[in-house]
Amino acid sequence: MVGSAGWLRVPVGVGAGRWATRGRCRRVLLVAHNVTSATRLLDVLPLFRDDLRVQLLATCTGSSAFQGGMAELLAEVGLPVLPWEQALETPVDLAVSASLGGQLGLIQGKLAVLSHGVGYNKTLSTPDTGHRTPDTGAPVFGLSREWLLGEDGRPVADALVLSHPEQLERLRADCPEAVPAAVLGGDPCFDRILAALPYRDRFRRALDLRDGQRLVLLNSTWNPESLFGDGGRDDVLPLLLRRLAADLPADEYRCAAVLHPNIWHGHGPGQIAIWLDRARRAGLTLIDPLEGWRQALIAADVLIGDFGSVSYYAAAIGTPVLLGAASLTALGAGTPVAEFISTAPRLDPYAPLAGQLEGLLSRHQPLPGPAGLTTSEPGRAAALLRRTFYRLIGIPEPDGGPALLDRLPLPPYQPPRLTAPLRVLTRIREAVPGEVAVVRRADGGPATAGGAGWEAHTAVHEDTLDPGLLELADVIVRDGPADDPRLGSPEEWTAWVLARHPQCALAAYATGPGSCTVRTRDGSVLRIDAGPRTADPLVFASALHAWLAGGGEAKELTTVRTGAQPHLVTVTVDGFSCPD
């Protein structure tokens, strides 16, 4: 219920005691600055579950330049949202913030502050309260006096949550006045990642990773010098996006991107989609920056990133990291992330990407620094933080069971939408009966065969952005349910395609994770079946095209090889096994 001035009247506000059903609750205020900090608050929100003594409230300081997405996120969380001015006038038992921005010292209640990244590593030139500027230089955000002390010289926070004693040593050196407020509370975000590691295969299935495929995860923090930014010496991103499609065989690699919420909401999700449209048509998957990034990180085989927290989290779980942007400008000297960025392998945007990734994977050894310095209390953040929060509130912890964080949810199924034209190289391996090797590259792959024995053809999805490409295709494909009434049956669609495009030799309709229906120019209708986690069934259609063009019988095709991975296939005619 909102008053005429936009202030809440229930469960707090003028006359709230008359209207609130449970009016004697302790008040806990979640203080968000932007979507990024709000996500860390959502990590710890479950620590108050099942406690009828606590009323949760939310507010936004309005101090961040990145306000996009905040209203929608807070509405989805479903807590009463106080305007910032009302929040400052409302007594609370505890306020929890994941940033030091805004006039936190004016909150009427105890204050606990968490990091919204991996510890405290980045610098900002000045607090955004509008009251002070730093003496000199750029202090580490969250560990220096410019941020931690109020106008009276006392700590703003009653509990400053640290994830590792290393941060305490820096705090003692930079702001000894705040040391009494320091609390070792672990890293709830990293704990959720650690708890979800056994479910890696499920997260890979959600992204439709196939046998033998490696997931390359692009990650960028926000900053002109980040991987996504254009403020560095070179704008790496456009070249990298082209190389992802042209250098990496589509059936050996999957590519996905996790972008910092400040990129996502600062420029707008629609703008991001437009900027990355070509890459998406070539198979790049955009990951939800709130709910999906940790699952994608766990699923990844290699990460191409920058100086943001996600690169460090990746290294902490042993994932190889290749830095596409390695600026130290935004990092405090001697911080763990700065040390990592100084030594991690670098991407060469002008060299073939596949060779760099293979080299990185072959020589990778997990670094001890990130694994050891992310948290000194792995798996214990929930217990440590709940103990701290309830100590500040002044009531005992709930007795209903141990403190637990939410498990990472299983993300939605996100198969790639590969509609860019594919340059396909095939080779019939005479030394291996019934086997065809296939290499498919999207949108700008090599125009000629890869050497002796390789043949080339073009495969085009019917939904290609440029319908003129269909007139040049040797193979035309699509995917979807077999009973889509808009298209007719796969047999009907393949017949229509070949009648409309007389230059096309073969039409293929993928009807499931491991099967497709194929019609050839001579009118034969074939079905190719394989296991559900083998390669994209449309690669089998290209293999069959090459096999038939080489004079083989359909029934004799038994194996399709993508990279080093063989995929067993069965070819049938009109629903029955090919006759001898």
Per-residue confidence band for 445, with pLDDT thresholds at 50, 70 and 90: low
pTM of the model: 0.93
Contact 86, 7 (CB under 8 A): yes
580 pLDDT higher than 70: no
pLDDT tier, 575 (very low <50, low <70, confident <90, very high otherwise):
low
Q: CA–CA separation, 412 vs 171, rounded Å?
A: 41
What pLDDT is attached to residue 576? 47
Question: Given a cut of 90, is residue 126 above it in pLDDT?
Answer: no
pLDDT of residue 448: 47
The rounded percent of the chain whose pLDDT value lies above 90 is 81
The total of other beta-carbon atoms located within 10 Å of residue 7's CB is: 17
The pLDDT, as a whole number, for residue 1 is 46
Average pLDDT over residues 368-388: 96
State how far the Cα of 128 lies from the Cα of 12, in Å rounded to an integer: 28
Q: Can you read off the two tokens belonging to residue 490?
A: 């796969």
Q: How confident is the model over 241-257, as a mean pLDDT?
A: 95
Output Rg (C-alpha) for the chain, integer angstroms: 28
Considering only CA atoms, which of 99, 317, 97, 290 is closest in space to residue 190? 317
Distance CA 208, CA 512 (A): 12
Whether residue 438 has pLDDT greater than 50: yes
Mean pLDDT value across residues 23-37: 94
Share of the chain above pLDDT 70, in %: 94
In 3D, which of 170, 190, 186 has the Cα closest to residue 178?
Answer: 170
Confidence at 577, pLDDT banded by 50, 70, 90: very low
| Vertex 427: Cα angle to 493 and 430 (nearest 5) | 120
Work out the average pLDDT over 114-140.
65
Give the separation between CA 330 and CA 177, rounded to whole angstroms.
Answer: 25
How confident is residue 116, by pLDDT bands cut at 50, 70 and 90?
confident
Q: Could you tell me if 470 and 453 are in contact, meaning their C-beta atoms sit under 8 angstroms apart?
A: no
What is residue 141's predicted lDDT score, i.e. its pLDDT?
Answer: 85
Phi, psi of 427 (to 5 degrees): -145, 125
pLDDT of residue 444: 59
Q: Is the pLDDT of residue 447 over 70?
A: no
Phi, psi (rounded to 5 degrees) for 520: -100, 170
- Determine the 3-state secondary structure of 570 from DSSP: strand
**Best-predicted range by mean pLDDT among 170-174, 193-197, 417-421, 444-448?**
193-197
pLDDT in tens, 270-280: 999 999 999 99
* Helix and strand counts by DSSP (H, E) for the chain: 20, 23
Alpha helices in 163-249, H assignment, sequence order: 165-174, 188-196, 200-206, 236-247
The mean per-residue pLDDT over the stretch 119-144 comes to 63
Q: Which pLDDT band, with edges at 50, 70 and 90, does 435 fall under?
A: very high
Residue 266's CB is within 10 A of a number of other CB atoms, namely 19
Residue 373 backbone zone (phi > 0: left; psi -120 to 50: alpha; other: beta):
alpha
Closest CA to 432 of 548, 530, 556: 556
Answer yes or no: is pLDDT of 449 > 80: no
pLDDT in tens, 451-483: 778 999 999 999 999 999 999 999 999 999 999
Strands of 357-449 (E only): list them. Answer: 422-428, 435-442
CA distance 508 to 525: 10
Average predicted confidence (pLDDT) for the chain: 92
Amino acid at 108: Q
pLDDT tens column, 317-337: 999 999 999 999 989 998 999
Whether 456 contacts 471, CB under 8 Å: no
- Residue 124, SS3? coil
Amino acid 4: pLDDT: 54
Query: Residue 234 — pLDDT band, cuts 50, 70, 90?
Result: confident
Q: Are 518 and 546 in contact (CB under 8 A)?
A: no
Going by pLDDT thresholds of 50, 70 and 90, the confidence category of residue 185 is very high
pLDDT of 443 higher than 90: no
Rounded mean pLDDT of 257-268?
95
Quick: pLDDT tens for 285-319. Answer: 999 999 899 999 999 999 999 999 999 999 999 99
pLDDT at 125: 56
Average pLDDT over residues 116-134: 63
Q: What is the pLDDT of residues 497-546, one digit of tens each?
A: 999 999 999 999 999 999 999 999 999 999 999 988 899 999 999 999 99
- What is the 3 state secondary structure string of 383-422? HHHHHHHHHHHCCCCCCCCCCCCCCCCCCCCCCCCECCCE
Alpha carbon distance 160, 538 (integer Å): 54
